[in-house]
Amino acid sequence: MDLTRLTAHELTDAFRAGTVTPSAVAEAYLARIAALDGKVRAYLTVTADLARRAAAASDARYRAGTPLGPLDGVPISYKDVLSTRGVRTTCGSKILEHWVPPFDATVVTRLGAAGVVPLGKSNMDEFAMGSSTEHSAFQLTANPWDLARVPGGSSGGPAAAVAGDLATISLGTDTGGSIRQPGAFCGVVGLKPTYGRVSRYGLVAFASSLDQIGPFAKDVHDAALVLRAIAGVDPADATSVDEPVPDYAAALRQDVRGLRVGVLECAADGMDPDVVRAVREAIDVLKSLGATTQPVTLPTADYGLAAYYIIAPAEASSNLARYDGVKYGLRTPGKDLIDMESRTRAAGFGAEVKRRIMLGTYALSAGYYDAYYGKAQKVRTLIRRDFEAAFEKVDVIVGPTTPGVAFKHGEKEDPLAMYLNDIFTVPANLSGNPGVSVPCGFSANGLPIGLHVVGRAFDEATMLRVAYAYEQATSWRARRPELV
């Protein structure tokens, strides 16, 4: 039995049956990371000591017959944008290279209380700005399906970790598609919850009106278990919403009879025909499972990307003002305070982060606010109305997660070409709706393709039910990348 291939629910079944221990699984992962992460480069920091200590405590709980729940003893990787007390948290940036948070993010606290085993911190585009993880200041991460290709981004490290069996589950963040797009590129499940569903306390902020934390998993069942563990209101995050958190795993069903599936007509320049075919076949599977389908349109969604590239950089330019060389992070000396700040930020930020700070500062500067930020916020309202109108007729909306499959390192040098990767994922960030990418096949050259399922706000349960029914009716998960 290859322990690193098992899902979280398969692992905890085995722990309860006593056929394997959390420590044995943790050791299997640490050995695999030592042997293979040199190829994938998913991890920035491996926390072997913390993992062994957590696994030993989990061993004892299973021995005593008192496990904490369905994730006790399950190995996890955290995107390096999530604060971990006593463990450096870099955000993929030189400016935070040596930052050691004095607190845990709420999601880290909650999963710790659920008994997970933390393997380490995984790579990302600097400050979560990017779609390939190539903007990390530290290393390029490889796609486990083809090491010459990107894992997607910005959560490329956590996605590659799960795809490469270097973690059972992981947490990423999604501001414009940064969980769903790498989920699609790496052939794993990637879930962005509804805005407000999961506390962002301890998440290093990028664009506060869009950021959400969510899981990567080897299957939909695992994603449901992790969402249940991290969701719910938190007094430390005033934007978290006090909505009941259902038992998502218990709500999974193998049929979708009676559900109304809206099919989004997705057109984009350079759309990969393999993606079009795989998504069409996935919709046929949903029909065969008893769902009714109808075409839906989101007329304003085509403008989503343009609105996003005003709103996200504007909020980022404000959020990243805190990196001034005073309270934490890098400092580069200067002749006075402003000179010190300007030199620190020039030395500490990479090209993409500088570009977005500049774009955002410009969009918010005197005389331009109404033309850019104000306009983008109004467009955001129109996109929300599009979703509301569509969800009067259907229960979920499906389409491709991305226009194409994983591209090669260095292939998208032009910033705008990179941004276009997010064209299908961005609208759900602007509207706040939950979305999940579930594997739905492979391109002719063997690269994974993702089906994007979007649900009503706070109705992740129905969205997951559709993703689960599809996954159970297909066998894409049987195909695995070979790293050795």
Give catalytic residue positions. Answer: 79, 154, 178
Residue 463 C-beta: closest distance to another protein, Å: 16
By CB under 8 A, residue 362 contacts another protein: yes
Task: Write out the binding residues for another protein, residues 84-103 only, by CB under 8 A.
Answer: 98-100, 102-103
Instruction: Give the contacts of 147 (CB within 8 A, at least 6 positions apart).
Output: 39, 40
By CB under 8 A, residue 292 contacts another protein: no
In the complex with another protein, which residue's Cβ is closer, 236 or 444?
236
> From CA 282, how far away is CA 51, in angstroms rounded?
38
Q: How far is CA 460 from the centre of its chain?
A: 15
In the complex with another protein, which residue's Cβ is closer, 51 or 301?
301
Question: Stretches 159-167, 182-190, 302-310, 391-399: which one binds another protein (CB under 8 A)?
Answer: 302-310
> From CA 318, how far away is CA 261, in angstroms rounded?
39
Position among 31, 35, 239, 267 found at the interface with another protein (CB under 8 A): 239
Name the amino acid, one letter, at 413.
E
Distances (CA, A) of 94 to 136, 169, 409: 9, 27, 21
Terminal alpha carbon distance of the chain: 17
Q: Is 136 helix (H, G, I), strand (E, B) or coil?
A: coil
Position among 431, 448, 468, 477 found at the interface with another protein (CB under 8 A): 431
Task: Write out the binding residues for another protein, residues 374-413 only, by CB under 8 A.
Answer: 374-382, 384
Instruction: Give the contacts of 117 (CB within 8 A, at least 6 positions apart).
Output: 22, 25, 26, 51, 54, 55, 58, 73, 74, 75, 76
In the complex with another protein, which residue's Cβ is closer, 102 or 295?
102
In the complex with another protein, which residue's Cβ is closer, 94 or 480?
94
Position among 44, 163, 357, 426 found at the interface with another protein (CB under 8 A): 357
> From CA 441, how far away is CA 30, in angstroms rounded?
30
> From CA 415, how far away is CA 247, in angstroms rounded?
41
Alpha-carbon torsion, ordered 280, 285, 291, 297, to 10 deg: -10
Task: Write out the binding residues for another protein, residues 247-286 only, by CB under 8 A.
Answer: none
In sign, the C-alpha dihedral spanning 151, 157, 158, 162 is: positive
In the complex with another protein, which residue's Cβ is closer, 289 or 423?
423
# chain residues binding another protein, by CB under 8 A? 73
Position among 310, 394, 449, 467 found at the interface with another protein (CB under 8 A): 310
- Preceding peptide of 443 cis, ω within 30°: no
Position among 1, 17, 64, 416 found at the interface with another protein (CB under 8 A): 416
By CB under 8 A, residue 459 contacts another protein: no
Name the amino acid, one letter, at 397.
I
Site string for another protein, 175-204 (x = CB under 8 A): -------------------xxx--------
In the complex with another protein, which residue's Cβ is closer, 209 or 472?
209
User: Which of these, 120, 87, 81, 119, lies nearest to 101 by C-alpha position?
Assistant: 87
User: Which of these, 191, 201, 209, lies nearest to 232 by C-alpha position?
Assistant: 201
Task: Write out the binding residues for another protein, residues 313-332 only, by CB under 8 A.
Answer: 317, 321, 324-331
Name the amino acid, one letter, at 405.
V
Name the amino acid, one letter, at 124.
M
Position among 52, 354, 409, 480 found at the interface with another protein (CB under 8 A): 354
Q: Residue 74 in contact with residue 168, Cβ under 8 Å?
A: yes
Task: Write out the binding residues for another protein, residues 203-222 only, by CB under 8 A.
Answer: 209-210
Residue 27, class by beta-carbon neighbours within 10 Å (0-12 exposed, 13-18 middle, 19+ buried)?
Answer: middle
Question: Stretches 22-30, 59-67, 115-123, 237-245: which one binds another protein (CB under 8 A)?
Answer: 237-245
Residue 344 C-beta: closest distance to another protein, Å: 8
In the complex with another protein, which residue's Cβ is closer, 269 or 482?
269
Residue 222 C-beta: closest distance to another protein, Å: 26
